[in-house]
Amino acid sequence: MFPITGTPALLLAVVFGFAFGWLLHRGHVADYNTIVRQFLFKDFTVIKVMLTAIIVGGIGIFVLVHAGYAKFHVKPADLLAITLGAGLFGIGMVLYGYCPGTALAAIGAGSVHAFVGAFGMIAGGILYALTFDWVSQTILPVWAMGKVQLPQLLGVGAPLIFGALGLLVVAFFVMLERRSSDSGAP
Amino acid sequence: MSTHALHYAAPATATQINWSPYLAGAGIGILSWIVFVVVNNPIGVTTALSQISGGVASIVVGPDEVAANKYWAKNAFKLDYGTLFLAGTLLGGLGSALAAGTWQIEKVPEVWAERFGPSPARRYVAAFIGGIIAMYGARLANGCTSGNGISGGLQLALSGWVFLAVMFITGTITAFILFRPKTN
C-alpha cells in the first residue's frame, strides 16, 4: 500500500505542504519577529518548536523504521560543506528573518519582504549551481564521513540517546517556562 | 487604507494564531511520521527550491547552460513532489492566516523597524541579500532548517546536528551584531 507514488503522491505533496505551512504559521514561526528574537534570546518559540518536532518525530521514526514501515533518509555528513553552509545559513537566516520553509508560509500570510527575499533565495540557488563544479571538487570531499547517524558514531542505542536528549530538552523547557512565569514576560 | 502604510504585526490578533509551540512542534513531528511512511520522503524545502532556481535560470542564462550544468542535471525543474510541497507550504500559510483572520500585508516587521527604521526599501534589500546567503548556505550544507535541522535531527543524523549547532552560533553572532543597541 505504501509508499504512494505517481499522481496521487503529487496531490499528497500539496496536502502535506499545506499542513506544514499551517503548523509553521499557527506555531508562530512564520513570523520575522519571532525568528529574530530567538537569535537575540528574547523569545524561545523557534527552539521549542524545533526540539519538540525532533523528539516527537524522531521517536516515532525510529519505531516505524524498526517495525519495517519506514526507511531512513540520512544525508551524508560532508562536514566541511555542512559547517561552511550552516555558518552562511545562520547569517542569511537572521538577515532575511526567515528560513526557506517559514519564508514560504510567511509569503502566504502576507509578508512582502519574505516575497522579495525569495528572489534572493532563487539567486542564491543559481549561484550555487554555477559554482557547483568547484564546490564538488574542493569542499564536498573534505571530512566526508558518509551517511552516519549518532547511534553508530557513539556506539550507543537510539533509545538511550532519545532518553537522554528527551530529559535534557524537558529540563530546558521547564527552565524556560519557569523563567518566563517569574519575569511575567511572554 | 493606503497601500503605502506600514503594517506591523498586531499583537491583539497575533494571539489568535498563537498555538503552543509544543503543539506546533509535535504536529510537525507527527507530520514527519506520516510523510516518511506514506510517500517515503522526509520534509525538506531547499532541494525543490534549487529546482525552481534552475527553472528561473533557464530564462536568464538560457536552457542550454542549465542543461549543461551538473547540479541542475540532478535537480531539474519539474512539477514533482518537492516543488508541489513548496506550493502547499505557501498555501498552508495563506490558509492559516485567512482562517485566523490575521492575513495582513507586512512590509517592515516590528523588530526590524525598531532598529533600522520604517523604510521598506532598506528591509527589502536586506531580505534579498539574506535570501542569497541563506540559500547558498543551505545548498552547500545540502539542506536547510527543515531538511537538515528537523528531518536530519530527528533521524539522529550527524549532518543534521552539526548543521543545527553551527547555524545557531553564526545566527546568534549575526543577530547580536545587527541588532546591537544604537550608540548615539
Cβ separation A82–B145 shorter than 8 A: no
- Predicted pLDDT at A45: 97
ipTM for this prediction: 0.96
pLDDT in tens, B43-99: 999 999 999 999 999 998 888 989 999 999 988 898 999 999 999 999 999 999 999
Would you call B49 an interface residue with chain A, using a CB distance cutoff of 8 Å? yes
By C-alpha distance, the chain B residue nearest A41 is B172
Give me the phi and psi of A139, to 5 degrees please. Answer: -105, -45
pLDDT average, residue stretch A78-85: 98
Cβ separation B102–A51 shorter than 8 A: no
pLDDT average, residue stretch B178-182: 88
Of A15, A92, A100, the CB nearest to B45: A100
Burial of A6 (0-12, 13-18, 19+ CB in 10 A): exposed
- Predicted pLDDT at B5: 43
- pLDDT bin (cut points 50, 70, 90) of residue B2 is very low
Cβ separation B90–A97 shorter than 8 A: no
Closest CA to A50 of B20, B177, B24: B24
Lookup: cell for B137 = 548556505
Of A40, A95, A106, the CB nearest to B133: A95
Secondary structure of chain A in the HEC alphabet? CCCCCHHHHHHHHHHHHHHHHHHHHHCCCCCHHHHHHHHCCCCCHHHHHHHHHHHHHHHHHHHHHHCCCCCCCCCCCEHHHHHHHHHHHHHHHHHHCCCHHHHHHHHHCCEHHHHHHHHHHHHHHHHHHHHHHHHHHHCCCCCECCCCEHHHHHCCCHHHHHHHHHHHHHHHHHHHHHHHHHHCCC
Under a CB-based contact definition with an 8 Å cutoff, are residues B82 and A101 in contact?
Answer: no
Closest approach of B134 to chain A, Cα-based (Å): 4
Would you call A25 an interface residue with chain B, using a CB distance cutoff of 8 Å? yes
Q: To the nearest whole number, what is the mean pLDDT of chain A?
A: 96
Cβ separation B166–A64 shorter than 8 A: no
pLDDT in tens, A122-155: 999 999 999 999 999 999 999 999 999 999 999 9
pLDDT average, residue stretch A92-120: 98
Would you call B67 an interface residue with chain A, using a CB distance cutoff of 8 Å? no
Is-above-0.90 flag for pTM? yes
Handedness of CA A43, A48, A50, A51 (dihedral sign): positive
pLDDT in tens, B113-172: 999 999 999 999 999 999 999 999 999 999 999 999 999 999 999 999 999 999 999 999
What residues of chain B lie within 8 A of the CB of A177, using their CB?
none
> CB count, 10 Å around CB of B40?
16
